[in-house]
Each structure stands twice: as structure tokens, then as C-alpha cells.
Amino acid sequence: MSEFITMGEPLVIFAATQIDSSLVDATNFDKTMGGAELNVAIGVSRLHHSTQYISQVGDEPLGAYVEKTIQHHHVGTKYLRQVRNLGTGHQFKQLVSHGDPGITYYRKNSAASKIETAAVDQVDLSDVRIGHLSGIFAAVSEETLTAEKRLMQRLTEKGALVTFDPNLRPQLWPNQTKMIQTINELATHADVILPGIGEGKILTGYDTPEDIANFYLSNRQTKAVIVKVGPKGSYVKARHEQGYFVSGFHVEHVVDTVGAGDGFALGVISALLEHKSLKEAALRGNAIGALQVQTPGDNDGYPTPEQLALFYQRNQVVISS
């Protein structure tokens, strides 16, 4: 059994090794694995929490690679299904010296995109305390959106905490209006919402972290909103409480921003699993986001408990017991 569960599309990543070469010109690639929700599961597992991951891959070499790699990260694969005659989603990613890398996706009609609600209904949620969803899987297909709604419903009925990261990917949506309407509707079923400040402006029309938080706190189910504000840290607001900022951490050199938002989410989730306060959860999210941007992979910077403690020590962070 597992205390944490998530659902998404795993992606095999072919990451260019030639710095600042376009994907047209790059000829050498390293094969790794990513996917926003899976990144979160890997990070939560690395901090010694039991996890399960719901998804589908192709019954082919890339699918076998995904399953093997997920197991290597000690993430549960009980609900990872191999599907015949469908492929595994993958992407090619540029290596850049600054800024965000160019990325090309190959995920249309993938195995994960054809997931059915029956797969969600078969999941045992008995010991699950937190379930995490994001806007990415909802955007992949009508099937994934329906499955995501069903998992949110089941988690709520069971009494588990539902965390939600909007994780906007405009290229996956038919238009911005559909994206905004769908993401905000999903957010009404979440207990804790984790938007970035830029995402919040698009989704709510408001410019400040406080107004973005208040917009989502109007949802009957939402208990807290934590807005990511980049290097400055995050803004935390719980229902019927004053909001406040939690400072970020200085990073000398940013290698790759991919996975930082997922790192923030896993920091919050793992802290809540350990019965930490929202303030400590946001602080951990800030810390893991800062660690992740200093590495080239999608989840290479996610720490073990010992590495997290060392990072806090180096940054003179004192956590109350």
C-alpha cells in the first residue's frame, strides 16, 4: 500500500548533449525519463515515502524502459499497464547554456492518452493520504481528462488530500479559453492548489499572489493556495488566514529550469505527509526547486533526506521540531 499516489504520462526524454545546438543539428542524445507527475512521485519516493503511479505505456522497448526506470526509483508500478499496439510518449530536448531548452513532443495517440476510467476504479486508495494531479495529463486527451476527474472524485470521497498543479502547457490545448475553463474547473476539486505567478495571471486575470490565492480560495473544497513567485520564493494563503511570503534560496548558476515546479510540488507534498505546517511545506518546496534548477535532468536535483538536511544547514535554515 502507498501513502501517495499520482497519475500522468511518463515520457522518454532524448536529451541533446551538444550545448546550444538546435534539435535539427544535434546528433548525440542521452536517454532519460520524465513527466511532471512522475517527477513528483520520484521525488516523494526519494524522501522515503511510499508511492504509486497510475499510467499506461506501450508494449515495446520504450515502455519496458519506462517501467524498469520507475522501479529503479522505487515508485510503485502496480497500476502501470503495458498496452499492445500503442506507443510510449517521448520527447527530444535541447541542451542550452541559458534560458529554457527547446522541446519537441511525440505523444499523440500514446498509450497513456488512451487510459480509461476503469483503470482508475481498480486502484486501491485505502492507505493513500495525498493524491496529486496536474493540468498536463488533463490536456493530453479527452480520455485522460475524464480519468483525472474520476481520480479526484475518488480521492475526495475517500478523504485524502488532493493537491493540484495547473502546469500550463498551451501547446497541448485546442485554445486558451478551453485551457483556462478546464484547469479552473479541475481546481475546484483540489484541497491545495500550486500555481505559478505567471500561470495564475493567465488563469485568474489577477496580477498579485494574494488576489490569485483569493480567487481559488473561493472554491468550496480548496483549503490553501501556494503561489510560486520564482527566485523570491512563494506566497502562502490558507482559508480564513492572513497570507504570507516564504523566501526562496539564492542560486549562483541556473542549469535547467525543467522540473523545478515539480520539485516545489514534491517538497510541499512530502512535508504535508510528515505533518509539517504549510509554511515549512512551502520552504521545502522552495528548497527543492532551487536544488533542481542546478541540474540538467528533469528530476536529478531531487534530494534524499540527508541531502535536504545538508542544504538547509548550508543555508542556515532552522526547522522547528
Q: Has 262 been annotated as catalytic?
A: yes
Residue 259 phi, psi (nearest 5): 95, -5
DSSP class of residue 3 equals S
11-16 and 29-34 strand pairing: antiparallel
211, 262, 298, 300: the catalytic one is 262
What is the arrangement of strands in the sheet containing 103-106, beginning at the earlier edge strand?
Answer: 29-34, 11-16, 90-93, 103-106
Nearest to 227, CA basis, from 201, 253, 205, 252: 201
What is the arrangement of strands in the sheet containing 244-247, beginning at the earlier edge strand?
Answer: 80-83, 51-58, 4-7, 130-134, 161-165, 192-193, 224-228, 233-238, 244-247
Nearest to 209, CA basis, from 224, 191, 189, 187: 224
Question: Facing residues of 125 across strands?
Answer: none
3-class DSSP assignment, residue 29? strand
Q: CA Rg, the chain, in Å?
A: 18
Cite the active site residues: 262
